[in-house]
Chains A and B, each alone.
Chain A
Amino acid sequence: MLDFFRDGFYKDLVILLVITILLGAGFSQGIAWAIDAYFGDTLDQMIGEYGEYDLILHIRDEAKEAALRELQRIGEQSFPGYKLNQTLTIAGQANVFFGLPPEYRTREVLESITSLFGAVPGLSGYTLIVQPSVLIRGVHPGVREELREQFEALPGVRFAVKDGSNLLVLADGEDALPGVSAQIEQILGQYQILELRFPMGFAVDTQEVGEQALEILRAQERPRGNRYANITSAQYGEDLDAFLTTLVEMRDFLGSYASKVRIAPGPGVNLAVGERIVLEGETELAEELIVEVTGVFGDLGEGMIIQGSPVQSMDRVAYKGFRLLGEGERGEFIGDVEIENERYRLAYAVDESLRLLAELEELAVQASAAVDNAEAVLVTFQEALMQLEVLQVQMRQLNEGITQGDAKPSGEQFLITLLLNGLFQTLAQSVLNNGEQSLDSLQNLDIEEMRRSLDGISTQIANVQEIDVAAIMEQIGFVRDTLPDLSDAEIGQSIRLINTYLGGQVIPGERVQLLIQGERLNEKELEKIFQAELETPYLHTYSTSAGMVSPDARGEIFRILKEVRSIVAGLLAIIFTMIVLALDHATIFSTLKQLRAGRKAAAKRWLRLVDPLLLLGGLVGCAVLSSIYYLAGGQIPLFSPAVIAVLGFGLGVVLVVFAERFSPVDSMELMAAQSLGLSHVQIMREVVIPPSRPGLLNLLNRFKQQF
């Protein structure tokens, strides 16, 4: 077999291999590079070149036009030389890239984006993408300033910007980034935040416990030289915690709003929490009423309705309870169950208030009218009284005149006097409705006083009328309408749902946060110590870092792109190798197989076992694929160089086995060529390769071929 190559064909083969490998590598790398360049350019267009833009403003899509105008105004006014690029709209959210001129890339500007861009219509948030920078996420507020100072003191760092719970550390240049990043990691590595969590409803003075915990830490034998600080902060609440707290409150609210179910188990009946009871009322219920036991206190149980609606009543309604067995089957009698329909009561009370208010308003109107009447009567009365007085004086004068004037009253005068007195009395009677009282007693009435008090009443009524009863009624009506229109069953289901969710969560209770600077401590070991020392077995400890250096999104995208390129290059290397093997090397192996047909069987046994042709094919495949893969910079996950070598070898072996199928060689021509005394290299160049499949081998052969 070796003399096949010896007479000169090896040179052709070496040239072929070298060109194949170079071409393969170039081809694979070229296409991968083109893909890279294409996507890279697209990305650049989308998100700008490295450091071109400094922030992405997230703007509601409908406000985009106005926002862009405003951004231009802000840019021209405050940041001459700014760059603006409106790019992607994702989920109704337009992302506008804004680039600050270098002189404005300062901490002051970057920390006041909210106020600087506050007037941009539709602005819902922003993301800082200032480069070159290192982003540290989730920086604990208790160490933020401390860390910022340390980061800013690092060589290669311009300054650090606080951005929400993140710190963005700006480096002098891109070259400085790896160093800065490493130093930041190192600093962060010295910080550990130890959190002691107490269960829900556990009342602790976090400051006090914090100090105690610090003492416990300091009292540890080892490690020495650590710094400990209590950084428990009241306002430090994560979203999840707030959410969970809200959920708990919601559950309690729903619970108080549900009908109260009291269960009085019969003698010898044991209630268990979670058990379900079917209720039977005096009247037939539309839907079966089922209650779940939520608590047992002594010989009384509490529950909540999980199916059906109770009777609408102000009073407690009594039912008979039966155990619920499996699929709606009714078990034995458990006891009496009373249900108080809180929602019905509330709704009733609200309705009553509304009615009362309506009546109050009516009453005020009527009262006001009554007072006005009373005043009019008083005035008339007073006027009548004054006329009576005048009349009385006139009558006295008349009387005196009668008696004094002519010494003796004439019979005529006497008659008039009598008449007048009678008239007066009738008048007085008609006014006072009291025949016994004289005008004098009438005159003793304090009419002015009466008028004053009437005025007071009038003012008060006016005040009542001034109250906007209609508005109050509207509000109460609103409250009534917005009272959750939930049935007991729905409330029960909701509570159960919330409980299921809360069940899997550490319900945030009180917590104490301690800063550890120096050697890291094992929080699980500490947990036991704290549990014992603080006498709180339910306490749990968690350890978090003071912040996480996070790869910047852009860098990530480019890293992924690079990975894609390596994978594409690797795949292309494999495909190229397959093509080259099938087109070119198959011809060679096919010829070798033909030539050896007339040969003696190998003398050595092992040579018969390990077909040297297969071995050669494997080696060629291995060499071609490994070289192209390596030169093209191929990197496919899980395809280590060893795997690639084995794969190449495998491809080579397959090539040899199926060589004639890939590239058939005319055995008659071959034999003729041999019989004519052609050397192997001549056989290849003149007889075998020219009619073979067009490929690199065929192409290169054109330069050598004589016929």
Chain B
Amino acid sequence: MLQIRDLHKSYGKAAALAGVDLDVAKGETVVIMGPSGCGKSTLIRCVNRLTEPDSGSIILGGQDVLALTGPELQQFRRKVGFVFQHFNLIARLTVLDNVMFHLVLAGMDRDQARERALAALDKVGLKAAAERKPGQLSGGQQQRVGIARALAAHPEIMLWDEPTASLDPILVGEVLEVMEELVKHSGTTMVIVTHEVSFALRAAHRIVFMDRGKVVEEGEPERVFAQPRSEIAALYKKLLMN
């Protein structure tokens, strides 16, 4: 489904990505872990071109992602759901509009879009909050709206950039629940950046460890935590033990 080859990205002299290779199969859930600043966000942002890589290649669903421009790129992005660490909701729109507006702008009829949006909100348990503004919701609720917004487009792949990292520990649970539910029942391909080790253990088909812009280890959760080969994986194992 997704093939990333030798991906490079640097900001000035500092390299954020120093040759990343990654394959994700259709329907697979991959969790990416690694220390802060190792390039996780940069990597998944490159996948939907929120960040432009310097070199390398990204093939998604047979499409050369880096060759896309204009309407093609927009079309492509609609198939890729993205969940942000800080939710990135449109503050002035209601919850419902936040979830449906991109569908309408993509050409969908309003009623159909609303139906889909309400369905998505239902999935994240927020149908009742449809007419509220994001500012009136808690962090966990806001992130669930962010998830619903990505779901409403019926994406072929979902990219998650630390969806729980900016949440109050008490609110992390409700989001993780929704995520786990999605992973288990939607069948959508997922690439999830997170530090939630136990979630990874439970939900991931495969865990990828990154360090200093490179993939340093990958494998099934049980394997990587049982026999870590890299320093980073070992560190996460320790985290899991505690």
Q: Does A607 contact B (CB under 8 A)?
A: no
Which segment of B17-25, B77-85, B220-228 sits at the interface? B77-85
Q: Does A671 contact B (CB under 8 A)?
A: yes
Q: Are A6 and B70 in contact (CB under 8 A)?
A: yes
Q: Does B104 contact A (CB under 8 A)?
A: yes
Q: Which residue of B lies closest to A681 (CB)?
A: B105
Complex Cα distance, B84 from A686, in Å, reads 19
Interface residues in A1-45 (C-beta closer than 8 Å to B) = 3, 6-7
Tell me which residues across on chain B come within 8 A of A687, comparing CB atoms: 90
Nearest 8 A/B pairs, CB to CB = A677-B78, A677-B77, A672-B88, A676-B102, A675-B82, A668-B88, A677-B74, A598-B51
Given contacts A598-B45, A674-B50, A686-B105, contact A679 B88 (CB under 8 A): no
Q: Which one of A671, A675, A691 contacts B92 once the chains associate, using CB atoms below 8 Å?
A: A691
Given contacts A7-B70, A7-B71, contact A677 B102 (CB under 8 A): yes
Q: Are A666 and B91 in contact (CB under 8 A)?
A: yes
Q: Are A674 and B105 in contact (CB under 8 A)?
A: no
Interface contacts beyond A672-B88, A686-B105: sample of 8 additional A-B pairs, CB < 8 Å, sorted by A: A666-B91, A668-B87, A672-B89, A675-B48, A677-B75, A677-B77, A691-B91, A707-B93
Given contacts A6-B70, A668-B84, A706-B105, contact A675 B89 (CB under 8 A): no
Q: Does B218 contact A (CB under 8 A)?
A: no
Q: Are B105 and A682 in contact (CB under 8 A)?
A: yes
Contact digits for B45-75, partner A, Cβ 8 Å, 1 yes 0 no: 1001011101000000000000001110011
Q: Are A672 and B52 in contact (CB under 8 A)?
A: no
Looking at the assembled complex, report how far the CB atom of B144 sits from the nearest CB atom of chain A, in whole angstroms. 15
Complex Cα distance, B48 from A687, in Å, reads 19
Contact digits for A644-655, partner B, Cβ 8 Å, 1 yes 0 no: 000000000000
Count residues of B near A (Cβ-Cβ below 8 Å): 33
Complex Cα distance, B77 from A691, in Å, reads 24
Chain A interface (Cβ < 8 Å from any Cβ of B): 3, 6-7, 598-600, 666, 668-669, 671-679, 682, 686-687, 690-691, 706-707
18 A-B pairs in the complex with CB atoms less than 8 angstroms apart: A7-B70, A598-B51, A669-B88, A669-B89, A672-B84, A672-B90, A674-B50, A674-B77, A675-B80, A676-B102, A677-B102, A677-B106, A678-B102, A679-B70, A679-B105, A686-B105, A687-B90, A707-B97
Complex Cα distance, B93 from A686, in Å, reads 10
Q: Does B195 contact A (CB under 8 A)?
A: no
Tell me which residues across on chain A come within 8 A of B92, comparing CB atoms: 690-691
Given contacts A3-B70, A676-B153, A706-B101, contact A671 B76 (CB under 8 A): no
Q: Which residue of A lies closest to B12 (CB)?
A: A601
Chain B interface (Cβ < 8 Å from any Cβ of A): 45, 48, 50-52, 54, 69-71, 74-78, 80, 82, 84, 86-93, 97, 101-102, 104-106, 149, 153
Tell me which residues across on chain B come within 8 A of A673, comparing CB atoms: 90, 102
Complex Cα distance, B98 from A672, in Å, reads 10
Complex Cα distance, B88 from A671, in Å, reads 8
Q: Are A679 and B90 in contact (CB under 8 A)?
A: no
Most chain A CB inside 10 Å of its own CB: which residue of B91, B93, B102: B102
Looking at the assembled complex, report how far the CB atom of A511 sits from the nearest CB atom of chain B, in whole angstroms. 85
Complex Cα distance, B11 from A599, in Å, reads 10
Tell me which residues across on chain B come within 8 A of A668, comparing CB atoms: 84, 86-88
Q: Which residue of B lies closest to A685 (CB)?
A: B105
Looking at the assembled complex, report how far the CB atom of A704 sits from the nearest CB atom of chain B, in whole angstroms. 12
Tell me which residues across on chain A come within 8 A of B54, comparing CB atoms: 600
Q: Are A707 and B101 in contact (CB under 8 A)?
A: yes
Tell me which residues across on chain B come within 8 A of A598, comparing CB atoms: 45, 50-52
Given contacts A669-B90, A687-B90, contact A679 B74 (CB under 8 A): yes
Tell me which residues across on chain A come within 8 A of B71, comparing CB atoms: 7, 679
Tell me which residues across on chain B come within 8 A of A706, comparing CB atoms: 101, 104-105
Tell me which residues across on chain B come within 8 A of A6, comparing CB atoms: 70
Tell me which residues across on chain A come within 8 A of B52, comparing CB atoms: 598-600
Q: Which residue of B lies closest to A690 (CB)?
A: B92
Tell me which residues across on chain A come within 8 A of B84, comparing CB atoms: 668, 671-672, 675
Q: Which residue of B lies closest to A670 (CB)?
A: B88
Complex Cα distance, B153 from A169, in Å, reads 86
Looking at the assembled complex, report how far the CB atom of A605 sits from the nearest CB atom of chain B, in whole angstroms. 16
Looking at the assembled complex, report how far the CB atom of B9 sits from the nearest CB atom of chain A, in whole angstroms. 9
Looking at the assembled complex, report how far the CB atom of B119 sits from the nearest CB atom of chain A, in whole angstroms. 17
Complex Cα distance, B51 from A669, in Å, reads 15
Tell me which residues across on chain A come within 8 A of B93, comparing CB atoms: 707
Most chain B CB inside 10 Å of its own CB: which residue of A671, A672, A674, A682: A672
Tell me which residues across on chain B come within 8 A of A599, comparing CB atoms: 52
Tell me which residues across on chain B come within 8 A of A671, comparing CB atoms: 50, 84, 88
Q: Which one of A7, A600, A675 contacts B77 once the chains associate, using CB atoms below 8 Å?
A: A675
Q: Which residue of B lies closest to A682 (CB)?
A: B105
Complex Cα distance, B90 from A669, in Å, reads 6
Looking at the assembled complex, report how far the CB atom of B91 sits from the nearest CB atom of chain A, in whole angstroms. 7
Tell me which residues across on chain B come within 8 A of A3, comparing CB atoms: 69-70
Complex Cα distance, B76 from A673, in Å, reads 14
Complex Cα distance, B69 from A3, in Å, reads 9
Tell me which residues across on chain A come within 8 A of B88, comparing CB atoms: 668-669, 671-672, 675
Tell me which residues across on chain B come within 8 A of A678, comparing CB atoms: 74, 102, 105
Looking at the assembled complex, report how far the CB atom of B200 sits from the nearest CB atom of chain A, in whole angstroms. 23
